[in-house]
Chain A
Amino acid sequence: MKVGVLTSSNDKDSEIKHIRSLSLAGHVGFDSLPDQLVNKSICQGFCFNILCIGETGIGKSTLMDTLFNTNFENFESSHFEPQVKLRAQTYDLQESNVRLRLTVVNTVGFGDQMNKQESYQPVVDYIDRQFESYLQEELKIKRSLHNYHDSRVHACLYFISPSGHSLKSLDLVTMKKLDSKVNIIPVIAKADTISKSELHKFKIKIMSELVSNGVQIYQFPLDDETVAKVNTTMNGHLPFAVVGSTEEVAVGNKMVKARQYPWGVVQVENENHCDFVKLREMLICVNMEDLREQTHTRHYELYRRCKLEELGFKDTDSECKPVSLQQTYEAKRQEFLVELQKREDEMRQMFVQRVKEKEAELKDAERELQGRFEQLKRLHAEEKAALEEKKRLLDEDQSSFGKRKAAAQLLQAQSLTANGKKDKDRKK
């Protein structure tokens, strides 16, 4: 018989706990706990987000309208979108006392482009963005997780066009990129264009292609006995071949949702005609909670782990001792600050260097100018000297000429007076 061992928090090394099962001697009353939990959830309301991926015109909006029995105010999209976009719309629905906040995200322009290589990227980015904003909220210091509007995608309905042959390569590529991020439920759209025998072969082909390409689609859970049986059966019917219609046609004496053709009426809720009822049952009535849980515990945790590891956080450091997020964060912050400081120093040094260079350049230029100035001055002085010399010569010439002129004049004057004397002498 197992005896309960006491654990005392004073000595942490004896942490072994043998938890014994006790039988109760009477009615205690905690069997009302699930009811208490359910009541709390009713007060809070529920949240569910569906992503519909499929080509334009394949019937995504109609199927959503049919599934939830409302008109979601959709409009037709054009086929000429240059890029795949996502359009999200949120609705508040209520059924009996359950309030559901439903967000339907549709792809716009998927499969319309000529080059479809990047078609999956906006979808992946959208899903990552929702995970990111939840992660941000979770990491905040002051957070309010119970009030937070969870926008993470819980289920992804992938609409396969009813070619009857096999999956398109766009389908395979997109689903492969999404299978680790979201619960993928493939559906065959517009199933009223395929005959029963073709449908059977088509389904087998699709599933085998998915398996051979390693695409992990959502499997309905088998661990709970109450629903294991129905889930196993449904797992065998994947992918569901659906027909959507919001119009009602009279069949017998009832009005049912159906599509009217000249050759007959395809009833949406008739299990012989299509798998719509199965889809509704699996998606909403049986597994909605499991879809939400898988998103939170598997896909979100994977995203969180990858994101934090990418940022450099680890659980254990190089000596394999546990490292807290806080320590890593602080270490990173210090690193970052040191790096900033280094860069600042570098920039400062570069600045100083450049200033020095410029200064040197300017000095050179100045010296050159100075040199030229000196040279010019010298030239100028030389020329001036030369001119002075010439002037002196000229002056000399001039003065000598003046002298000679004076001498000549004197001579002339003398000769004149000499002649005058001679004349006087003769007259006497």
Chain B
Amino acid sequence: MSEATKPQPQAKGEKTPISDTSYVGIDAILEQMRRKAMKQGFEFNVMVVGQSGLGKSTLMNTLFKSKVSRKSVQPNVEERIPKTVEIKSVSHDVEEKGVRMKLTVIDTPGFGDQINNENCWQPIMKFINDQYETYLQEEININRKKRIPDTRVHCCIYFIPPTGHCLRPLDVEFMRHLSKVVNIVPVIAKADTLTLEERDSFKKTIREELRANGIDVYPQKEFDEDAEDRMINDKIREMIPFAVVGSDQEYQVNGKRILGRKTKWGTIEVENIAHCEFAYLRDLLIRTHMQNIKDITCSIHYETYRVRRLNESNILFTSNPPDHPAPATPQPNGVAAHRSSVE
């Protein structure tokens, strides 16, 4: 590396600047970081939640342009609706231009499919908390691994059926409970059944309902770091939930081969933003905000879980994680328990 002998002009900031005469090389650390990141590889865990038949697996395959979903891995299993919500996760190593990523897609068959759907979000909540718990246990070990494997759910894509009216009670319940523990990205599934006007009014209704119920979906307003962030995220917030169409079949349109759905009245192009908002979703999830999603999971959701868990252990002297979220103010009960146990 011969950068050291080339004199380069430096930017003068309010901080003590390096003088003009020669180059120190501090900004080479960016390159070092990049190298380290490429060597280590990345991890991304995404969960898809929605009723069966909404196109979750197809959307995942479309997003990652390969057969990442559970169904593609188990092609011969007959499709049956499970009696309870199951959690099935599949992992893949994907690579693009030297960047390696371990992608895990977590499927939740059975969600919302029973006659009685009360508390069907609970197994999902438990799974998410279990991942946090595993990470926490590994982190507080004496001899811990160099890189703790990250199985925490970074992002949860929630599929809203395209009724065109409003959110159903199940949707509201689910999002209300889970928006506090994981980043939720709501999408309108099978959006090719809505016209553009229907789509816009549906989205507006959904946004209002989310606001009315105090549900904070990704990107959360409170985690905006600075004005620039807020501006970018406000634009995104104007557009959620994204109306998406998924497809893993290619068709010939205007001489190009593109992903789409062919019907008798036309071909819906998945990546055409005039047709559906898949491209926006893909850009948000993968191209621009993936790191941010991971950071919010690590530093906010996980820390919240950790604080609650450590406080609980302190008070109740147990080491078993709770299956349900702790009561809002554990202190009064906890203190009483403490006193009685000491006596």
Identify the A interface with B (CB < 8 A).
3-4, 6-10, 17, 19-43, 46, 67-70, 91-100, 141-143, 145-146, 223-224, 226-227, 230, 248, 255, 269, 277, 280-281, 284-290, 293, 297, 301, 304-305, 308-309, 313-315, 324-327, 330
Docked complex Cα distance between A212 and B64 (Å): 55
Question: Is there contact, CB below 8 Å, between A30 and B99?
Answer: yes
Measured CB to CB, the nearest residue on chain B to A334 is B317
Question: Is there contact, CB below 8 Å, between B87 and A36?
Answer: no
Q: Does B117 sit at the interface, judged by CB under 8 A?
A: no
Docked complex Cα distance between A33 and B91 (Å): 19
Query: Which chain B positions have C-beta within 8 A of A324?
Result: 137, 140, 319
List 7 other contacts, CB 8 Å, given A30-B290, A281-B4: A4-B73, A30-B99, A30-B101, A33-B42, A141-B311, A289-B36, A314-B142
Known: A6-B88, A25-B66. A284 touches B99 (CB 8 A): no
Question: Is there contact, CB below 8 Å, between B27 and A98?
Answer: yes
Known: A98-B26, A309-B142. A9 touches B127 (CB 8 A): yes
Identify the B interface with A (CB < 8 A).
1, 3-5, 10-11, 13, 15-19, 21-30, 32-39, 42, 44, 63-68, 70, 73-74, 86-99, 101-102, 127, 130, 137, 140-144, 146, 225, 282-283, 286-292, 295, 299, 303, 306-307, 310-311, 313-314, 317, 319
Query: Which chain B positions have C-beta within 8 A of A33?
Result: 37, 42, 99, 101, 290-291
Query: Which chain A positions have C-beta within 8 A of B146?
Result: 297
Question: Is there contact, CB below 8 Å, between B1 and A281?
Answer: yes
Question: Is there contact, CB below 8 Å, between B24 and A4?
Answer: no
Which one, A10, A22, A269, A297, contacts B92 given CB within 8 A? A22
Q: Quote the shortest CB–CB distance from A326 to chain B (angstroms).
A: 4
Query: Which chain B positions have C-beta within 8 A of A325?
Result: 140-142
27 A-B pairs with C-beta separation under 8 A: A3-B73, A4-B91, A8-B88, A8-B89, A9-B89, A19-B91, A24-B64, A24-B96, A27-B65, A28-B282, A32-B288, A34-B37, A38-B33, A40-B292, A42-B30, A95-B11, A96-B10, A230-B1, A277-B4, A284-B25, A284-B26, A285-B1, A285-B25, A286-B1, A315-B141, A324-B137, A324-B140
Q: Quote the shortest CB–CB distance from A322 to chain B (angstroms).
A: 8
Question: Is there contact, CB below 8 Å, between B28 and A28?
Answer: no
Known: A34-B38, A143-B303, A280-B25. A10 touches B87 (CB 8 A): yes
Question: Is there contact, CB below 8 Å, between A301 and B144?
Answer: yes
Docked complex Cα distance between A98 and B30 (Å): 8
Query: Which chain B positions have C-beta within 8 A of A67?
Result: 24
Which one, B24, B37, B317, contacts A280 given CB within 8 A? B24
Q: Quote the shortest CB–CB distance from B272 to chain A (angstroms).
A: 15
Question: Is there contact, CB below 8 Å, between B64 and A19?
Answer: no
Docked complex Cα distance between A31 and B100 (Å): 8
Query: Which chain B positions have C-beta within 8 A of A288?
Result: 26, 28-29, 32
Q: Quote the shortest CB–CB distance from A250 to chain B (angstroms).
A: 13
Measured CB to CB, the nearest residue on chain B to A281 is B4
Which one, B18, B93, B225, contacts A19 given CB within 8 A? B93
Question: Is there contact, CB below 8 Å, between A284 and B142?
Answer: no
Docked complex Cα distance between A212 and B65 (Å): 57
Docked complex Cα distance between A305 and B144 (Å): 9
Which one, B18, B64, B86, B311, contacts A68 given CB within 8 A? B18
Q: Quote the shortest CB–CB distance from B225 to chain A (angstroms).
A: 7
Question: Is there contact, CB below 8 Å, between A34 and B73?
Answer: no
Question: Is there contact, CB below 8 Å, between A92 and B25?
Answer: no
Known: A67-B24, A70-B16. A29 touches B32 (CB 8 A): no
